[in-house]
């Protein structure tokens, strides 16, 4: 999507962009050259519908429902909708995108507030604040309760995005030792923050006295801290979840508190909000609860208003790199020519994110003659690579900015010929670690409109990148595929497709299987234990 640009060579002579703010917020300075910003908090719907056709942009909070009726009433002049805060549940995102409207939000505005709330929960849990408050109000003056000091203890952070990084900074100020687990963040960020990195979640859990989670809620992170993970923590550990409901399994957390394994816990989020009167958290011992207040400070609310206004004005001037929620509308010619390659690029990026997270460099090579400039495919690769690993949802507008923020260098190469296909996209990921550099390479092409996986490392394969893909390496000897297939059959896992590749006869070989179903960690470990298998990885496309 291209934001509107001034139509006159002399910007001072053009008609100002008009922006309507129809919900209550603190928008900060409204005097900007080239813009007329009208602020009317709590504007009623009928008035909004009547006046909206006069504006280039609309800014709301959660009160105003930006549905089809409102979007249709806006007419052709409206180009941008800004939502103060994180969520966009009040906006019909699909219909707005269909109508070519750019949707923006300001999710970073509450980062400090959310981080400070997590630290507050940690401190309150360590000193029994909730417990003592409840007992004192009930008439019990309990001065025998012994809390815990934070100084010289170890805090484990799962997810070192913007909020996790702020928590780490605050924790170091409290003289805590900080270790973190985030496979999607490069080593350079850990070094810059002075934080020790653990290679696995299990390593982190076994070492820490306190645990806090700061990851997006995805299929990968949902329930990632369950009964088994809590059992790995030291006795009398503290757990804090001020990120998303469901990252820490609710029942498992209550069980660990009831058993006495955990000293205390603090939560700001629930799976279902608001909770019912019978929710298990409400009767759990030593559990501090807040009502999803991460963003609720005066300062955060002031920042969110000023930030969303700034982003809307930037978008109207042509800069759509910050806060974009929906993807841009490519012109029909580009979409027709590159549609299959855009899908391919996102799939290759998603595969690489699972094979080698925490990249420092992404190199995309285009081989052959493409019908149009293939550079949008690079952005699609970054969308796939960053999906599920950032505080913001990556899309074709913000993916390059998010990559820069994570310290990922992006390189593009072009080769005139492709030895095996008319066109081919090769994605190479490089990660620089203290012990050694690691590289992963995948490639693909498009048949008609259908993406195909053509390369894994130095091996040629040909496979439709769909569902679950099991990538296994072995010595090129008879029986490997049969043994693996038989094992999958005993689990009732169906093989939808297969591709074989080898470097040379009798040497290293690689085969890939597309599966209809996911595999459990135990099943994947059983595959790796087969005497004919050297390595095995499962990726979801």
Residue 261 appears among annotated catalytic residues: no
- Cα separation, 324 vs 312, in Å, equals 10
- Cα separation, 214 vs 199, in Å, equals 17
Residue 292 appears among annotated catalytic residues: yes
Q: Please say whether the beta carbons of 41 and 63 come within 8 A.
A: no
- Cα separation, 357 vs 280, in Å, equals 36
The catalytically annotated residue of 9, 13, 219, 273 is: 273
3-state secondary structure of 19: strand
- Cα separation, 51 vs 234, in Å, equals 60
Give the single-character DSSP code of 52.
Answer: G
The catalytically annotated residue of 131, 170, 197, 244 is: 244
List 112's β-bridge partners, or say none: none
Peptide bond into 353 cis (omega under 30): no
Which strands sit side by side in the sheet containing 437-447, from one edge to the other?
409-415, 361-368, 423-432, 437-447, 450-456, 459-463
- Cα separation, 382 vs 447, in Å, equals 22
CA angle 384, 357, 491 (to 5 degrees): 85
Which strands sit side by side in the sheet containing 508-515, from one edge to the other?
495-502, 508-515, 468-475, 535-540
Residue 273 appears among annotated catalytic residues: yes
For the chain, the first-to-last Cα distance in angstroms comes to 26
List 210's β-bridge partners, or say none: 155, 238
Q: For residue 208, what are the CA distances in angstroms to 178, 205, 232?
A: 9, 6, 10
The catalytically annotated residue of 18, 292, 440, 460 is: 292
Q: Centre a 10 Å sphere on the Cβ of residue 285 and count the other Cβ atoms it contains.
A: 13
Residue 220: both structure tokens together: 């990968």
List 178's β-bridge partners, or say none: 155
Residue 428: both structure tokens together: 């190479």
Which H or E run includes 113? helix 111-126
- Cα separation, 123 vs 423, in Å, equals 57
Residue positions annotated with a catalytic role? 244, 273, 292
């Amino acid at each position: 999507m291209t934001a509107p640009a001034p139509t006159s060579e002399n910007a001072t002579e053009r008609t100002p962009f008009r922006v309507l703010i129809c919900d209550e917020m603190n928008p900060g300075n409204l005097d900007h050259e080239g813009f007329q910003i009208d602020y009317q908090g709590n504007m009623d719907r009928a008035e909004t519908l009547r006046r909206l056709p006069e504006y280039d942009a609309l800014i709301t909070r959660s009160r105003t429902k930006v549905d089809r009726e409102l979007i249709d009433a806006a007419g052709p002049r409206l180009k941008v909708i800004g939502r103060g805060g994180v969520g966009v549940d009040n906006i019909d995102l699909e219909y707005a995108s269909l109508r070519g409207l750019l949707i923006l939000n300001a999710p970073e505005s509450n980062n400090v507030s959310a981080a400070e709330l997590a630290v507050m929960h940690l401190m309150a849990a360590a000193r029994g604040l909730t417990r003592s408050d409840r007992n004192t109000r009930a008439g019990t003056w309990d001065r025998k309760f012994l809390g815990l000091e934070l100084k010289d203890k170890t805090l484990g952070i799962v997810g070192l995005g913007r909020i996790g990084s702020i928590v780490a900074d605050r924790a170091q100020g409290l003289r805590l030792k900080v270790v973190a687990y985030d496979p999607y963040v490069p080593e350079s960020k850990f070094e810059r923050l002075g934080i020790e990195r653990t290679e696995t979640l299990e390593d982190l859990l076994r070492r820490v006295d306190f645990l806090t989670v700061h990851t997006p809620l995805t299929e990968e992170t949902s329930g990632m801290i369950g009964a088994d993970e809590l059992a790995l923590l030291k006795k009398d550990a503290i757990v804090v979840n001020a990120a998303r409901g469901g990252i820490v399994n609710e029942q498992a957390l209550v069980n660990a508190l009831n058993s006495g394994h955990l000293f205390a816990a603090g939560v700001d989020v629930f799976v279902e909000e608001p909770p019912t009167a019978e929710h298990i958290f409400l009767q759990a011992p030593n559990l501090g609860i807040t009502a999803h207040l991460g963003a609720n400070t005066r300062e955060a609310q002031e920042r969110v208003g000023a930030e969303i206004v700034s982003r809307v004005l930037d978008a109207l001037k042509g800069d759509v790199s910050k806060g974009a929620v929906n993807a841009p509308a490519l012109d029909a010619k580009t979409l027709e020519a590159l549609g299959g390659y855009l899908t391919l690029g996102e799939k290759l990026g998603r595969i690489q994110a699972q094979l080698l997270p925490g990249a420092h460099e992404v190199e995309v090579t285009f081989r052959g003659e493409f019908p149009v400039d293939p550079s949008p495919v690079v952005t699609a690769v970054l969308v796939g690579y960053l999906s599920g690993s950032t505080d913001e949802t990556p899309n074709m507008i913000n993916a390059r900015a998010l990559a820069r923020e994570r310290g990922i260098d992006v390189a593009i190469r072009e080769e005139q010929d492709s030895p095996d296909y008319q066109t081919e996209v090769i994605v190479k990921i490089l990660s620089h670690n203290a012990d050694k550099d690691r590289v992963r390479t995948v490639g693909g092409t498009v048949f008609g409109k259908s993406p195909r996986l053509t390369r894994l490392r130095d091996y040629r394969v040909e496979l439709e990148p769909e569902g679950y893909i099991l990538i296994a390496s072995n010595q090129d000897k008879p029986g490997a595929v049969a043994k693996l297939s038989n094992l999958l059959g005993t689990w009732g896992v169906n093989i939808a497709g297969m591709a074989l590749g080898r470097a040379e006869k009798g040497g290293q070989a690689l085969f890939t299987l597309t599966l209809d179903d996911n595999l459990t960690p135990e099943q994947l470990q059983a595959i790796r234990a087969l005497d004919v298998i050297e390595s095995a990885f499962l990726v979801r496309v």
